[in-house]
A and B are shown apart, each in its own frame.
Chain A
Amino acid sequence: MTHNKSTHGAGVQQGRRQFLQAGAGGVALSVLAGVLANSAGDTEVAFAQASGNFGPKRKVIWVPQATGDWNIPIRAGQRDFCAMVGWDYQHIGNPVYSVENHVEQVNNAISASPDVIVTELESVGMVPVFQKAMSSGIQMIIIDQGVVEEAAKLKLGIIGEDGYVSGYANGMQGATFAQKLTGKTDGVIVFGNGNPGAQLIDARQNGGQQAVQDYNQQHGTTYQYVAFPDSSFDDEAQSIQKYTAQMDQYGDRLVALITGGNVIPIVKAMQERNMRPGQIAAGSVDLPPAHQQAMQDGWVQWGTDQQQYLMGLYSLASAFAAFDGYSYPTIRTGEAPLLIEDLPRIKKRTDIWLAKAKAYGDMS
């Protein structure tokens, strides 16, 4: 244990805060080890944190475009990184999404003069506030989604999934399960959009459309792809009504329901219509605990693990690199569809970040 020897040998008196930071760093590392399945070097990092080798203390603010369940694993990853390097962490946000709300929240964050702001660049409308922050010397990190061309102009990478690839995978799953579950070669595949206009969600829809076209070509099917705004992020009750209306509109022709957001309204709509699990295909581009439960119960056939914990961790690792003079790269965290057989390992990972979120007080 060279670090102990070194620290004590130098006669450094650690204060309580430093001691706690060191402890938190160790905890962060154990999570990292669990999530990344790579525990190499943990003692060295804990040592570096304890002895202040991570450089000056920084202040980070995470501004999600809208608060939601998906923020929690991202926060856990970010908090772990902050605990490791001794940075201060704050998260703000508005539960109701709009570009205006998002811009306002980033402006609020800029007023607090942090060293780092982590947020989305989901619309060209966000560019001016990014420029404002960067001209104030704030390191901006794009997480979750970003308009690729605008991010390139700002010389920033994007930490998150590739929406198009994710949508493509979901469209392919939708068509595959539609044929498998219904036996039909013709029908309607509905793809709901919770945030029309947001780059990531629109990209998911476009990917889904392409996938259904490709599936039709490859398998001789004639599935029709229909996109619609489903309100699944804003109002679950209304979203249920909208999905029920889709069921009424297409009747027996409906073979799959996919959402670019929250899958629960789809499940509720199916239950309230007395459909049986697996009567039609259902899935989404996400995989929160409630979605996992719906998969377990057979209502949903697939989900997508975007690896949001890693998204959070990588976002601040990227900021850390940027402070060292490196331009951080785009990191695609994951778009692969996950099926029922993947659930045990996904649940294991989920349990880790849920425990972390509870430990950090982000969940009760």
Chain B
Amino acid sequence: MRSVTWRDAARSRDFAIGGVAVALFVFFYLMNSRMAAETTLVALARTMAPIGIVAAGMTFLFVAGEIDLSVGGLYGLLMVIISILIEKRNFDPWLAMGMILLLGLGVGALIGLLVTRVGLPSFIVTLGMWVAMRGAGNLLSGGISTASTRTNLDYYRFFASNVPGTHVPTIFVLMLIVVAISGVVLAKTRFGSDVYATGGNVEAARNNGIRTRRIKWTCFIMTSGLVALAAALQFGRLANSPFNGGNGFELQVIAAVIIGGVGLFGGRGTILGSLIGVLILNMLTSGLILMGVTEFWDGIVSGLVILAAAGLDLLVRRAGAAAQVTREVLA
């Protein structure tokens, strides 16, 4: 087996997008040195956490050749439900968290069944679920936010806290744990390679004995379960369930995953890439404000970064393909 050289690494998508992230950070730092201030980085870490957790699940789905548009609707709905359970039904917060985790897994199982057993396209199923769950969230919340009246509970303290002795937000560490486990599962396990095989060529995967429907179903369950986890920790952090929570969340997650180089048509992408995508997307918001640029540019720049990421992806793949041809010719 040929060893991986620095040239190979330089051609990898994660390396390229990582370079973009570093370049962006340096650029923003040169514009305003406060970009590297501890407070800025801590705020960035906090904001990244829920998006990063869900992006990990979405990466599995994308690699398996599927998509879940319902994550924002589910995220908002579950925040409403946990707030009602804790604040209006007096449930223990940890129990309420367990309940919404189960609910999230159940929703994922339902979506997965509709896609893999009934045969409906995931785009349609999850679009419908997104609308339905957004509506359910509005119905349950009555269009109003539910703020916690008992913010002294351990639950809120835990999710709003930092790792003892540091200024690193606990929710950021939770995200890193989720991302690390997801990364190992996707890159190093049999299940992960089955996910790549399913998304790369579903027929070939099936012919090789991979239970592709089971693989996709599991990815849907994982994604919705991670949405539930993100909703629980975000509710804990905010001690508030905004009535429109998760508004635009699905686009942030999908944009981050695409920026991170995960292929829209399956079979390609890494958890690390998605994490870097989340970082880039969130860095833009803080960086542009620090530059004193009017905030409306945020959307424009984010869009341009998505386009640039797609272009970069194409260049890296072409370079990789060209190198492969060269190697084959030389061999």
Contact = CB atoms under 8 A, between A and B. Distances in A.
Contacts of B165: none
A292 to B, nearest CB: 10
A228 interface: yes
A242 interface: yes
Interface of A: 67-69, 71-72, 93, 95-96, 196, 228-229, 233-238, 240-242, 244-249, 251, 264, 268-269, 271-273, 289-290, 293, 362-364
A82 to B, nearest CB: 18
A234 B247 contact: yes
23 contacts: A68-B244, A93-B143, A95-B244, A96-B244, A228-B294, A233-B244, A235-B248, A236-B238, A240-B46, A241-B46, A241-B47, A241-B282, A244-B43, A246-B289, A248-B35, A248-B37, A249-B34, A249-B290, A264-B240, A269-B43, A272-B43, A272-B46, A364-B88
Given A245-B290, A246-B289, 16 more contacts: A71-B144, A72-B142, A95-B143, A233-B244, A234-B244, A237-B47, A238-B285, A240-B46, A241-B47, A245-B43, A248-B37, A248-B286, A264-B240, A293-B149, A364-B88, A364-B140
Given A72-B144, A268-B238, A364-B88, A67 B40 contact: no
A242 B143 contact: no
Contacts of A273: 39, 43
B29 to A, nearest CB: 12
Interface string B212-252: 00000000000000000000001000101011110110000
Contact of B248 (A234, A249, A362, A363): A234
A133 B243 CA distance: 30
Contact of B34 (A68, A241, A248, A264): A248
Contacts of A293: 147, 149
Interface centre among A228, A362, A364 (most CB of B within 10 A): A364
Contacts of A233: 244
Contact of A238 (B35, B47, B140): B47
Interface residues on B, range: 35 or more
Nearest to B239: A268
Contacts of B286: 241, 244-245, 248
A96 B282 CA distance: 22
Interface centre among A228, A236, A289, A363 (most CB of B within 10 A): A236
A270 to B, nearest CB: 12
A359 B47 CA distance: 38
B50 A245 contact: no
B279 to A, nearest CB: 13
B116 interface: no
B292 interface: yes
Contact of A237 (B44, B149, B234): B234
B290 A248 contact: yes
B289 A242 contact: yes
A127 B66 CA distance: 44
A331 to B, nearest CB: 24
- SS of A interface (majority): helix
A249 B142 contact: no
B160 interface: yes
Contact of B240 (A67, A234, A290): A290
B193 interface: no
B74 to A, nearest CB: 16
Contacts of A249: 32, 34, 289-290, 292
Interface string B125-168: 00000000010001010111101010000000000100000000
A290 B145 contact: yes
B296 interface: yes
Contact of A229 (B144, B238, B295): B295
B84 interface: yes
A268 B248 CA distance: 20
Q: Which of B43, B50, B294 gathers the greatest number of chain A CB atoms within 10 Å?
A: B43
Contacts of B292: 249
A242 B294 CA distance: 12
Contact of A235 (B46, B145, B240, B247): B247
A157 B22 CA distance: 55
A71 to B, nearest CB: 6
The 7 closest A-B pairs by CB, nearest first: A245-B289, A244-B43, A67-B143, A290-B147, A241-B47, A69-B144, A245-B286
Contacts of A241: 43-44, 46-47, 282, 285-286
Interface string B24-58: 00000000101101011011101100100000000
Contacts of B290: 245, 248-249
A233 B88 CA distance: 24
Contacts of B47: 237-238, 240-241
Interface in B275-302: 282, 285-286, 289-290, 292, 294-296
Nearest to A239: B242
B43 A248 contact: yes
